[in-house]
Structure 1
Amino acid sequence: MLHSIFMLIVDAVASILAGVMLLRFWMQVVRVRPPQSVGQFVYQLSDWLVKPLRRVMPGGAYDWASLLGAFLIVLLSIIAAVGVESGFDFKTILLLSLVRFFQWIFYGFMATLIIEAIFSWVNPYAPLAPFVRALNEPLLRPLRKIIPLVGGVDLSPLAALILLQIAVRVVTTLLLSVA
C-alpha cells in the first residue's frame, strides 16, 4: 500500500512538472506569449531544470531543453515505478519512458482542446481563452479546412480529440511492439 501511495505522489508531481515543460516547449513552437500569470507559473516551475539543460543543449528555433527536461522527468518517474521491481533492463525502462512521454504529449493536446471547448461554452471572452485558442490553432487549422461547420458548430475539436486518441493507441502499440 505504501508503494502505491508513493507512486501516486510521484506520478502527480511528474505529470505536473513534465506537463509544464511540454507547455513551455509548445508555447515556443506556436510562438504564443502566455498571459503574465501563466508565464510566471510555467517559467518558475520549469527554470530549475531547463536553465541547466540549456548549457548542454542550447536553444535554437525551439526550446529543446524543455522537451528534454520533460523526457527526463518521465524517465525518472518510470525508474521510480519499476526501481523496486527486478527484471527490468535499461532498454525496457527507456521504452516505457518513451511510451509515457508520447502519451503525455497527446493527453496535453487533448486537455487544451477540452479547455478551449469549455471556454467557448462558458465564457469565450475569458482572459485565458485567446491563449488556449492560440495553443490549439496548429492542431485545428488543417481540420477546419476539411470539416465544414454543421449548423454553425465547429466539429474540428471533436475530430482532433478522436485523432489524438487514435494517435495514442497507434504510438503506444508501435513502441511496445519494439520490445
Structure 2
Amino acid sequence: MIVDTIATLLGGVLLLRFWMQAVRVRPPSSVAQFTFQLSDWLVRPLRRVVPGVGGYDWASLIGAFLIVLLASSVLFISGQPVEVVLLKSLQRFLQWILYGFMALLIIEAIFSWVNPHAPLAPFVRALNEPLLRPIRKVVPLVGSLDLSLLVALILLQIAQVLVGMIIVLR
C-alpha cells in the first residue's frame, strides 16, 4: 500500500508536469515549485537520454511510466510473466492518466461552485480546456449551464472501463 501510494503520487506529479508543458500552461509558483522539486531528480537525468521533441516533455511521461513499471514489478512480481507485468503496468499507467483528467475536471467543477475567482481556478481551467473544447463544440449550453464537464467525466469513465478490460482480454 505504501509503495502504491508513493508511486501514484510521484507518477501523478510527473504526468501533471508533462500535461502542463504539453498544453503550454504556466503554473502558479507554488504548483511549479512543488511539481519540479518533487520530480527533477528523475526528469533531469532522463532528459539526457530522452530529449523533448515537438514541444513535449517526453522525459516526464517516460518517467511516469517507469514509476508505474517499477511499482507494478514490486506489487505483481509473484511469479508473473514479464508480459503480464508490462500489460498491468500499461493498464495502471492509462488509469493514472484518466484519473488525473477526472480529478482536474472535478476540481474545476468545485471551483465553479465555490469560488470561480480562486487563484488556482484559471490554471485548472487552462489544463482542462484541451479536453473540453471538442466537447463544447458538440454539446450546446442548456440555458446557462455548460454540461461539457459532465459529458467529459462520463466519457472518461467509459474509457476507464475499456482500460480495465486490457488484462481481461489477454
Q: Shorter-chain TM-score: which interval? A: over 0.9
SS in structure 1 at match of 2:43: helix
Q: 2:57 aligns with which of 43, 60, 63?
A: 63
Amino acid at match of 2:74: A
Unaligned 5+ runs, structure 2: none
SS at match of 1:119: helix
Query: Are 1:52 and 2:45 counterparts?
Result: yes
Residue 27 (1) aligns with residue 23 (2): no
CA RMSD of aligned residues (A): 1.0
Q: Which runs of 5+ in 1 are unaligned?
A: 1-7
Shift of 1:135: 0.2
**In structure 1, distance between residues paired with 2:73 and 2:163:** 21
In the superposition, the TM-score normalised over structure 2's length comes to 0.96
Match of 1:76 in 2: 70
Instruction: Give the match's secondary structure for 2:26.
Output: coil
List per-residue Cα deviations over 1:69-117 (Å, max 9, x = no partner). Answer: 000000111111123x22x011110000000000000000000000000
TM, length-normalised to structure 1: 0.92
Counterpart check, 1:14 vs 2:31:
no
How many residue pairs get aligned? The number is: 169
Moved over 4 A (4+): none
The match for 1:176 among 160, 167, 170 is 167
Tell me, in whole angstroms, the C-alpha distance in 2 between the residues paired with 1:177 and 1:30.
33
| Aligned-partner SS, 2:118 | coil
Q: Select 1:105's aligned residue among 84, 97, 100.
A: 97
Find the aligned partners of 1:10 and 1:34 in 2 and give their Cα distance: 28
In the alignment, the residues of structure 1 paired with residue 154 and residue 71 of structure 2 have an alpha-carbon distance, to the nearest angstrom, of: 28
